[in-house]
A and B are shown apart, each in its own frame.
Chain A
Amino acid sequence: MGRIFRRTPRQLVLPGVRVPRKGRRERAAMADLGPIARARMHLVTAPVTRRRFLAGTLGWVSAAIAAALGIPAGAAVVSPLFRKDEEGWSPVARLGKPDPGDPDLRVENEPILTHVTSLVEDAYLKASPRDAAIYVVNRGGEQFTVFDVRCTHLGCPVTWKEGDGEFFSPCHGGVFDAEGRVLEGPPPRPLDRYEYKVEGGVLYVGKLYQVNDELQRVTF
């Protein structure tokens, strides 16, 4: 041992931890200075020894390696935040006499509960089935309103109360009128809606969007 370790190891100072070895008066004088002046004072009073230089170099090189490894890693994990699902048009039903199992869209001004299934590209799944429940209201003349079934408060499915002419959410008592406007309860905005189009006698739904209290579209 003695041959190899000639010197006893000197005290190593953790970065940022100042070991109080100066007198109280000197420390009091340092306290009044700003951060840059204090750093300069520190450099003057504790000159750069070879040991400090090597410790600093080691620190910066370590930081560079950590960044080279950490930035790609962090970016990869964070990237799904900016992911957009591909949304296409999904068929609901024919406008005339419905096929078996399809809703009858000839009924006017009455919300009909049905659902659409679409195949969306979901990350590594090329065609993942997405099922969405909707209320379709036929306003006549190929005009429709397609409501999302989820309450705008916390997403519970609403049900159409035919006698009252209202949508009702059982979870916290949210109530919406036939146009989706909030009548009662905690929901912050009217029921969300889907874009729709009629093509070849078939009703399709597309993107989901939000409306304000005047039923104007606010998200695109």
Chain B
Amino acid sequence: MFAGSKEWVEERLGLQPVATRVMDHPVPRHITWLHCFGGLTFFTFIVQVVTGIIMAFFYVPSPDHAHDSVDWFQTSVPFGTIVRNVHRWGAYAMVVLVFLHMVRVFVHKAYRKPRELNWIVGVGLLMLVLGFGFTGYLLPWDQKAYWATSVGLNIVETIPAAGSTAANFLRGGESLGALTLLRFYALHVFILPLLIAAGLLIHFAMIRKQGIAKPL
């Protein structure tokens, strides 16, 4: 039924040269498995996006319902346990892989001129990944989540001068409660994903432009 539909699109849009340029990209000979950590981090990011969207269908960011909705998703929704645990282990994996990626770039001295800007963007991306971890940890709204966030925000308070303002902004006031949960939720599912998507685009565009660093 759809035979020839690709040719139909191709005839009209001529995407073949674009696909060739994007997919048939020659890779230098000195590439090793160590060069895969960046791509693997991106892969875990995709996994997090997919499983996160699925959980958004079931999660309620309210102190009354957050824990019950997570509990119900895990116990009563088919594959709920799998989806939630893939998201959890994916988060751990992402932090580990992004760290290994950073170590690889450091050891290979791939951050040197002309790639300093990409290192700086990469540090920003690392902060965003840790931000995802911190905000996502509160969302199940159990004892561990509550006290981990409480401690985390106390750490923010130790920033000189701006500390208490920053902590109160994140907390949505002076005490940890409903607004904190909503803020962390908004950061976790709306703001951080937009920022990280923009950062990844810049990160990848710069690699394409500058190529992979020569071997040591």
Residue A75 at the chain B interface, CB threshold 8 Å: yes
A76-B79, A79-B78 are known contacts. Are A124 and B69 too (CB-CB below 8 A)?
A: yes
Residues of A within 8 A of B29 (CB): 4
Closest Cβ neighbor of A76 among chain B residues? B79
Contact with B along A115-148 (1 / 0, CB 8 A): 0000000011110000000000000000000000
Contact A124:B71 (CB < 8 A) given known A17-B6, A72-B82: yes
Cβ contacts under 8 Å, A18 to chain B: 7
Whether A12 touches B20, Cβ cut-off 8 Å, given contacts A18-B7, A73-B79, is yes
Q: Could you tell me if B10 and A76 are in contact, using CB atoms closer than 8 angstroms? A: no
Which listed segment binds A: B50-58, B141-149, B181-189? B50-58
Q: Tell me if B161 counts as interface (CB < 8 A to partner A).
A: no
Whether B19 lies near A73 (C-beta < 8 A) is no
Q: Is A21 an interface residue (CB 8 A)?
A: no
Does B16 touch A at the CB level, under 8 Å? yes
Contacting pair B78 A4 (CB below 8 A)? no
Given A14-B6, A77-B54, A79-B78, CB of A9 within 8 Å of CB of B24: yes
Give the CA-CA distance A11 to B80 in the complex, in Å: 44
Q: Report whether B79 and A75 are in contact in the complex, using a CB–CB cutoff of 8 Å.
A: yes
Interface of A is mostly: loop
B60 at interface, CB cutoff 8 A: yes
Interface flag for B114 (CB, 8 Å): no
Q: Which of A70-127 contact B (CB under 8 A)?
A: 70-73, 75-77, 79, 123-126
CB interface residues, A 1-34, toward B, < 8 Å: 4-5, 7, 9-14, 16-19
The reply to whether B57 and A77 form a contact with Cβ atoms under 8 Å apart is yes
| B78:A12 contact, CB within 8 angstroms | no
| A46 contacts chain B at the CB level, 8 A cutoff | no
| Residue A69 CB within 8 A of the other chain | yes
Chain B CB within 10 Å, residue with most, of A5, A73, A125: A73
- The size bracket of the interface on A is 20 to 34
Residues from chain A with a CB closer than 8 A to the CB of B28 are: 4-5
Q: Are B26 and A5 in contact (CB under 8 A)?
A: yes
Question: Smallest CB–CB gap between A78 and chain B, Å?
Answer: 9
Q: Is B23's CB within 8 Å of the partner chain A?
A: yes
Q: What count of chain B residues pass the 8 Å CB interface test?
A: 36
How far in angstroms is the closest Cβ of chain A from B26?
A: 5
User: Which residues from chain A contact B170 at a C-beta distance below 8 Å?
Assistant: none
Partner of A12, one of B3, B23, B47, B68: B23
Bound CA–CA A53/B10 (angstroms) = 24
Contact between chains at B68 and A79 (CB < 8 Å): no
B91 at the interface (CB under 8 A from A): no
Q: How far is the CB of A143 from chain B (nearest CB, A)?
A: 39
Complex Cα distance, B77 from A35, in Å, reads 42
Taking CB as reference atom, which chain B residue is nearest A9?
B24
Q: How many whole Å from B58's CB to the nearest CB in chain A?
A: 8
Partner of A124, one of B26, B51, B72, B82: B72
Are B50 and A73 in contact, with the CB atoms below 8 A?
A: yes
Residues in A with CB closer than 8 Å to B110 are: none
A109 to B57, CA, bound (A): 47
Q: B65 in the interface, Cβ–Cβ < 8 Å?
A: yes
| A72 (CB) vs chain B CBs: closest residue | B79
Task: Assess whether B77 is in contact with A76, with CB atoms less than 8 Å apart.
Answer: yes
Residues facing A in B75-110 (CB within 8 A) are 76-80, 82-83, 86
Q: List 22 A-B contacts (CB under 8 A).
A: A7-B26, A9-B25, A12-B19, A12-B20, A17-B6, A17-B10, A18-B7, A35-B3, A69-B47, A70-B50, A71-B79, A73-B53, A73-B54, A76-B58, A76-B83, A77-B57, A79-B77, A124-B58, A124-B60, A124-B71, A124-B72, A126-B68
Query: B residues engaging A (CB < 8 A)?
Result: 3, 6-7, 10, 15-16, 19-20, 23-26, 28-29, 47, 50-51, 53-54, 57-58, 60, 65, 68-69, 71-73, 76-80, 82-83, 86
Given contacts A70-B50, A124-B69, 5 further A-B contacts (CB under 8 A): A14-B10, A69-B50, A73-B79, A79-B78, A125-B65
Which A residues form the contact surface with B (CB < 8 A)? Answer: 4-5, 7, 9-14, 16-19, 35, 69-73, 75-77, 79, 123-126
